[in-house]
Structure 1
């Protein structure tokens, strides 16, 4: 029996690009995949009305799940996954963007890779990026900071395939509510990747600005805040050790009489204050994380229904 697929596509006021994407899905997907595919569109409370009918789709059906309020891309994905896990029967669930930068032809690669490595989430890893130099420069910095603070490497975004045996695990990972790929890394659900090239936007302009990109990067780091906090504390202790070394050296210079009057005491007290501040702030952050871990978390599979206004089906 052929495998069944659900493609989850979150969108916000991007109906034109979405329609073009549906046409590309209809053209680029292998027939054996297409005819067993359901499109699940997560309408993130768009204020622009859809003025054109959906493009012809050769799969099973198109479902539009509308949210009560705008929640953002990551939360819309978490709600789509939770709805699919509870209400749709599928062997594989695909997550992709509505703007067309995730090439539908790469779904065939994800499906083929999933057959080779069953039981793993498969991500589309970017082989090369088409963005401008400034974006690519800050993206490299983001990956370095992510590795430094979390000890993990992130080379992928939302475009991915989730097998049914992992879907129920995934929708109970509270961290995907904040950041989908970061939540999967944190959850230790096994994953793999395939190399893909980023396509170009099909219509309209990107709604992501510099501030949005920074917040997105910070959200990925925040899902592993416990590891980040401990690493910051260790760094603070190391820097405190360096500061103490300098203070000892300053005292030595003072004793042998080579220190400039007033300079040694000023520098020594400044170093001591900075050392205590960094250590106490880091310690406070660690205790905040420990307190957070003891609280009840938002579970997408349990709480997603609070945000669903309605679900429409188009054959």
Structure 2
């Protein structure tokens, strides 16, 4: 439907924060000539988040709330994936993904809507409000990502995608949404927006979470990592062959051979090469396992259930 957008936002144990976010969203979008279906994915919250959401209704005529409640906790990325699976069935062509804690500024949506021609519009992160140690860790993470993938990771989940990209994301699944989008071929556009302070509560992204998040983003580039290990193996194998040749030269053609050092270095290089090729083989196996697992995760796993007062919300039923 023209001028109709879906906004997918996951939440976990947000309590009043999610309501404040939705009110902020409504205040920003209520007077523009577009319609929005806001898909909130409750990731198995253990507090009062679901109760608060089930009672919430937008007052603005151009916003509608669809609530998804996961039976099991899938994590932030899994919740986004389920939200996209549901949004795929909506009669819209543009899909916005953002966090619900207030750090993704709803006002940036107005700038996203300008780039109608783009397949993906990324919201590049400007100033951040995290502690200095977190910002330093994030800086080195971006350097590592750049070194391995030759791409910049200066954006997060906040973006707008078209249906072609949505179909790709829901067909193959993903582990890290932003890293997945960085691989998608097409017309990419970028806007910059400062990260806002959380509306309430504490951030769930600690330094340890950032490290785990970084590994997940690199998993999206598993082929590049495997090639890195393969190149390392080839380099070490070449060094090993060269060292063996040098050992024979020293032993049979000179009197400069030092007992023990050559064999020690050879064993060390050989073991390192074995480790490198071992990582490569294990990576190939895991990559294929992940591929077949993703095939089984393409179908949406939700059921529509009527709620009180003749309103509806959705509950996802997943087998543990």
TM-score over 0.5 for the pair: yes
Asked whether the 8 Å contact 1:171–1:301 carries over to 2, the reply is: yes
CA distance in 1, matches of 2:218, 2:123: 20
**Pairwise mapping of residues 239-278 of structure 1 onto structure 2 (< 5 A)?**
239-249=236-246, 251-254=248-251, 256-275=254-273, 277-278=274-275
TM superposition shift of 1:99: 0.5
Q: Which residue of 2 aligns with 1:89?
A: 91
Asked whether the 8 Å contact 2:222–2:287 carries over to 1, the reply is: no
TM superposition shift of 1:168: 3.0
Q: Alignment partner of 1:200: what SS?
A: coil
Q: Which residue of 2 aligns with 1:4?
A: 4
Aligned CA-pair RMSD: 2.8
> Structure 2, unaligned stretches of length 5 or more?
314-320
- Return the TM-score normalized by structure 1: 0.84
Asked whether the 8 Å contact 2:179–2:217 carries over to 1, the reply is: yes
Q: Alignment partner of 2:21: what SS?
A: helix
TM superposition shift of 1:248: 4.2
TM superposition shift of 1:63: 1.6
Q: Which residue of 2 aligns with 1:111?
A: 113
TM superposition shift of 1:98: 0.9
Matched, 1:305 2:301: yes
TM superposition shift of 1:283: 4.0
C-alpha distance after superposition, 1:58-91 (max 9, x if no partner)? 23321211111110111111111110111x2223
Asked whether the 8 Å contact 2:156–2:178 carries over to 1, the reply is: yes
Q: Which residue of 2 aligns with 1:102?
A: 104
**Pairwise mapping of residues 19-98 of structure 1 onto structure 2 (< 5 A)?**
19-29=19-29, 31-33=31-33, 36-50=35-49, 52=52, 53-54=55-56, 56-58=58-60, 59-86=62-89, 88-98=90-100
Matched, 1:199 2:196: yes
> Structure 1, unaligned stretches of length 5 or more?
none
> Comparing both chains, which one has the higher relative contact order based on Cα–Cα distances under 8 Å and sequence gaps of 6 or more?
1
Asked whether the 8 Å contact 1:125–1:195 carries over to 2, the reply is: yes
Q: Alignment partner of 1:37: what SS?
A: strand
Runs of 4+ in 1 over 4 A off after TM superposition: 246-255, 308-315
Q: Alignment partner of 1:134: what SS?
A: helix
Q: In the superposition, relative to structure 1, how do residues 166 and 149 fare at CA in structure 2: closer, same or farther (>3 Å)?
A: closer
Q: Alignment partner of 1:20: what SS?
A: helix
Q: Which residue of 2 aligns with 1:16?
A: 16
